[in-house]
Chain A
């Protein structure tokens, strides 16, 4: 979040992140007994070969969150009036529009690209530099896109699960996505070309606080109720990404508990098969 490859003086932060990464790297998940096909299948499905390293970075992120981000986000959520929180959220969403537009185009979604462009024009003018999301009021609902999703649409596999320092849950494909989105973002280009790097920091920092505040309640209850918070977030990250990549059409075809897998509640063997969804889950990219 706090680095820019084009600038030498941010190299220090980059070096630090890399150092932490390297120190923690080296731990690999224990491979299962190759003679147990079920265990092997499970290991491949979990697809987290660097789990010990990922867990270490996860814990590091968690302590950074507890020390810095969460207190700020809590203050922001509880003290700043909702009206201003919404204005900040709208403005940040609007700033993302060019990147969303670009990814809409790259994914061949021309209708969605036009919708994004129209929203950007309305919100940047009538909506006073994006502070008020007038477009949604007018019935032009927004959507999100990023280069990680574009790569997925192009057929690139996600690769193994990775927890990035500061950024959290990811995978090689989404990591490339984060970097590309950062580099092509017109706002960032403008800021670095005019020596206004502080603007990038301010935007990124505000975004982090904004998102953390929005997800506070959900994350708190997940942390409280899950047995293994790390594994829960890993699963949720993948499910959410699959849903985003399919633009909200994928999850309806997830495999689910079915009558064939267990009786409803009476302990009797069930008739018929479990739920076989009409489309294969593997088609959710």
Chain B
């Protein structure tokens, strides 16, 4: 009896570990992966359509990119992550102003970069399901002049019908992580005050909006 129990434990133990080590989901994960892939594909088409038409003023491009950004990026989630532990320290009004300035900063700083990428070939290499209804889509974006393509990873989250980008990782550098270091440093230098960050954000977004772009 004892032996048989032991035998079973030896037999089932590894099997149990194996089950735990399986990627989450199964059929659900596969469906999510397909959705995420289609989502990135459609984003790249949308970006080409709305950003690469000639004779569009920068103001108009910013407007279109803002729409695209809000539709495809989990702006609030990213903004909160970027603020890190200071999110809890911010007052309600500060949070509100922060999220609006954060959206502004993202839109005006990425509109020109995004335009440079849009229209280039985006190649989906593979997708991988993560825990918590998230997927990483591994892509490669071609560059002009036969240069090595850029590796871009898209971290995508889904809940119900909503599917949005949580992070973009370009050649190993995560947008969210980098912004978190940037903002965190400003707050520390401003004596741990979120209001100090808001001040800097106001100045930065104003100067970027005034910029003619290039």
Question: Is the pairing of A and B real?
Answer: yes
A-side interface residues toward B, CB under 8 Å? 38-39, 42, 46, 82, 86, 141, 221, 224-228, 230-232, 234-236, 239-240, 242-244, 248, 250-252, 254-267, 270-278
How many chain-B residues does the 8 Å CB contact rule pick out? Answer: 59
A42 to B48, CA, bound (A): 40
The residues of B that contact A224 with a CB separation of less than 8 Å are: 109, 208, 211
The residues of B that contact A254 with a CB separation of less than 8 Å are: 167, 169, 174, 177
Which stretch (B1-9, B35-43, B60-68, B149-157) binds chain A?
B149-157
A272 to B185, CA, bound (A): 31
Contact with A along B139-169 (1 / 0, CB 8 A): 0000001001001010101010010101101
The residues of A that contact B180 with a CB separation of less than 8 Å are: 235
Q: Does B194 count as interface, using CB distance less than 8 angstroms?
A: no
**Inter-chain contact total with CB atoms closer than 8 Å:** 159
Decide if A257 touches B78 in the complex (CB within 8 Å).
yes
B-side interface residues toward A, CB under 8 Å? 23, 74-82, 85, 105, 108-109, 112-113, 128, 130-134, 136, 138, 145, 148, 151, 153, 155, 157, 159, 162, 164, 166-167, 169, 171-174, 176-178, 180-186, 188-189, 192, 197, 200-201, 204, 208, 211
Q: What are 6 residue pairs bridging A and B, where the CB atoms are less than 8 Å apart in the complex?
A: A251-B174, A257-B78, A258-B134, A264-B164, A275-B134, A276-B130
Decide if B157 touches A264 in the complex (CB within 8 Å).
yes
The residues of A that contact B79 with a CB separation of less than 8 Å are: 262
Minimum CB–CB distance for B106 against chain A, Å: 9
Decide if B130 touches A277 in the complex (CB within 8 Å).
yes
Decide if B77 touches A263 in the complex (CB within 8 Å).
yes
Decide if B181 touches A235 in the complex (CB within 8 Å).
yes
Decide if B131 touches A236 in the complex (CB within 8 Å).
no
Decide if A252 touches B80 in the complex (CB within 8 Å).
no
The residues of A that contact B23 with a CB separation of less than 8 Å are: 278
